[in-house]
Amino acid sequence: MTKFLIKLFVKNNADVTDPAVRGRYASLAAFTGIVLNLLLFAGKLTAGLLAASVAVVADAFNNMSDAGSAVVTLIGFRLALKPVDKGHPLGHGRLEYIAGFIVDLLIILVGAELFKSSFEKILSPSLPSVSVLTYALLSAAILIKLWLFFFYRKIGKLIDSSAIRASAFDSLSDTTPQLARMNPSCKYSIVDFYKDGGVPRLMENLRSMLETDGWAGILVASFILFTGFKAAKETIDLLLGTPPKPEFIEEIRNFVKGYPEVAGIHDLIVHDYGPGRKFISFHAEVPADSDINYAHDVIDCVERDMNEKFGCIVTIHLDPIEMNDARVQEMKKLAEESAAEIDPAFTIHDFRMTSGGKHVNMIFDLQVPSDSKMPTEEAAKRVAERISEKNPDCYAVIKAEHPFI
């Protein structure tokens, strides 16, 4: 069914990097979610009112909020597709994340309200009367939510959308609480079925123990709140900035290695301004004795080729390094060994050397992992001291920094 809908409604569906195609995928997901959740809302509201079940009625409004969330997600996708303008030179891609955050807040609000009403139900319990129709509606809801989970998950994976992936998780989390609502404390429950067949007092006592409507509502609320806070954290992380996937970093490094004129790269930064709007910048190391015009032309080629392959805007800083001077290589090795002795995870780059009358100046950048417990200032100081211990004639000028990946 998912493949059929994609083929029917998403033109050029194979080109998932095209913003317009991503928008069509998002529209399909949103409209499908709106229609199905509105149908679930109508069915559950009817069943909940007939059964006088606060949990079922509350979950009906949860489906209404899911439909509203789909509307907000759709609006966010549409706004994110707006082209760049004078006030937003990097585009509007992050509006998709903001729309997702609004959806997350709505989910949390629904969960909080449900928790409150369910707690009141526990304090003032009343036995729900759930009919066979209610069971049928809840069973259908579970099947629909399971299908929506797989539907959202497939589309979210295809277009790499955190908002749609969150909708998939939300749909899956909706199924378990609905099972909890199908409890035996109802008119046509398992308990009553056996009771009608002649099982006397034991079933009556068991029925009184299973008046769990309020607790089922608490369970539903817990799932909704968990989903909301988890999705909100993911969205906030995207807005604050998260490191790119290691596979993507490795792909960039391997791509640049394909140019023999480039000895290596460092200071790699991947800026994320929304899905499909990534900006890449890094320093490309080239031999210091290279022809500057030729090296510049190579870097221009790398930028154009990367833009074509990754669909990103790429800016590369040309960084000349000395590769043929034996003395420089010896001092660089000393710096690398000294850094590794302080912490094996420390690395250096941008190494330069100047010789004075009485000592040698070693100038380089020290990269300290972001999860290192050692402050950058202390790391630079300790590496400099270790170099001086190994070679008193060397004076290290170190700039310590954390990586951006």
Among 28-37, 60-69, 129-138, 342-351, name the one with the lowest average pLDDT: 129-138
Evaluate if residue 252 carries a pLDDT over 50: yes
Per-residue pLDDT at 67? 84
Residue range 6-16, pLDDT digits in tens: 888 888 888 88
Structure tokens at 64: 């209404």
Band of pLDDT at residue 183, cut at 50, 70 and 90: very low
- Provide the mean pLDDT of the chain: 81
Residue range 262-312, pLDDT digits in tens: 988 988 999 888 877 889 999 999 988 888 899 999 999 999 999 988 888
Per-residue pLDDT at 232? 86
Cα diameter, the chain: 107
Per-residue pLDDT at 153? 87
Per-residue pLDDT at 191? 41
C-alpha to C-alpha distances, 177 to 112, 113, 168, 377, nearest whole angstrom: 15, 16, 16, 52
Residue range 95-124, pLDDT digits in tens: 888 887 887 887 788 778 778 877 877 777
Long-range pairs for 13-21: beta carbons < 8 A, 24 or more residues apart: 16/158, 16/159, 16/160, 17/276, 17/311, 19/81, 19/276, 20/81, 21/159
Q: pTM for the complete prediction?
A: 0.64
Domain(s) of CATH 1.20.1510.10: residues in the chain:
2-240
Please give the Cα distance from 299 to 86 (Å, whole number): 29
Residue range 67-102, pLDDT digits in tens: 887 888 788 888 887 888 888 888 888 888 888 788
Please state the φ and ψ torsions of residue 270, each to the nearest 5 degrees. Answer: -115, 110
Band of pLDDT at residue 377, cut at 50, 70 and 90: very high
C-alpha radius of gyration, the chain, whole number: 30
Residue range 317-346, pLDDT digits in tens: 998 888 888 888 899 999 999 999 999 999
The helix-helix angle for 19-51 and 54-80 (nearest 10°) equals 170
CA neighbours closer than 13 Å in the CB half-sphere of residue 318: 20
Pick from 169-173, 179-183, 244-248 the range whose average pLDDT is largest: 244-248
Please give the Cα distance from 10 to 5 (Å, whole number): 8
Return the percentage of the chain with pLDDT > 70, whole number: 85
Evaluate if residue 369 carries a pLDDT over 70: yes
Evaluate if residue 198 carries a pLDDT over 50: no
Regarding the domain with residue range 2-240, which homologous superfamily does it belong to in the CATH classification?
Cation efflux protein transmembrane domain (1.20.1510.10)
Among 64, 11, 71, which residue's Cα sits nearest to residue 38?
64
CB-CB contact of 325 with 354 (8 Å): no
Domain(s) of CATH 3.30.70.1350: residues in the chain:
246-401
- The correct answer on CATH 2.60.40.10 for the domain covering 246-401 is no
> Looking at residues 239-265, what average pLDDT do you find?
88
Per-residue pLDDT at 204? 45
Per-residue pLDDT at 345? 93
Please give the Cα distance from 299 to 295 (Å, whole number): 6
